Amino acid sequence: MTFALVPIFAATQSAGPDWAMLGACLALAVATGLFIFYIRPDASDLAPHRSKLDQLLERRDTLYDNLRDLRFEFRSGKYAENDYEAMKTTLENEAALVLAEIEQVTESQVRRPRAAKHGAAERGAQ
């Protein structure tokens, strides 16, 4: 079986270099070098576009999940009642602060457009 493969392999080899293959490899190497050294990613491509409100809502959801997990672990006997109450109070206080900040952000977002429309309506009436 190996004797049959040797003549086929010998027949497919050419005497000189394959210029098309060498040209393709060189073009690929040049394109890779240009991509690595000359194309710079934009800073906005790397960072997710999240607003302050999105971050606060994510933090609120995380705190709620932590409270739910804490309650489950307390009921399963993992924590003593004193430890549970201390951790629960800490998480609830942090959640209250986040909720207050969410309210401030949403109020400031709602007030701005109304004030701008109201001011424009007064200027148009004069």
CA 119, 53, 112: angle at the middle one, nearest 5? 5
| 24-77 pLDDT per residue, tens | 999 999 999 888 888 777 766 666 677 888 999 999 999 999 999 999 999 999
Number of domains in the chain: 1
* pLDDT above 80: residue 13: no
Is residue 59 domain-resident?
A: yes
Report yes or no on 3 lying in a domain.
no
Q: What is the pLDDT of residue 49?
A: 74
Among 9-13, 27-31, 52-56, 108-112, the range scoring the smallest mean pLDDT is: 9-13
* Residue at 14 is within a domain: no
Any domain includes 25: no
Domain assignment of residue 30, yes or no: no
Domain that holds residue 70: 49-125
User: Is residue 41 one of the residues assigned to a domain?
Assistant: no
- Quote the pTM value: 0.51
The answer to whether residue 6 is domain-embedded is no
Q: How far apart are the C-alpha atoms of 27 and 43, rounded to whole Å?
A: 29
Distance CA 27, CA 85 (A): 67
Query: Per DSSP, which regions of 24-95 are E strands?
Result: none
- Does 8 score more than 60 pLDDT? no
Considering the domain boundaries, does residue 101 fall inside one?
yes
Residue 125 pLDDT exceeds 90: no
Exposed e or buried b per residue across 35-73, where buried means at least 16 C-beta atoms within 10 angstroms of its C-beta: eeeeeeeeeeeeeeeeeeeeebeebbeebeebbeebeee
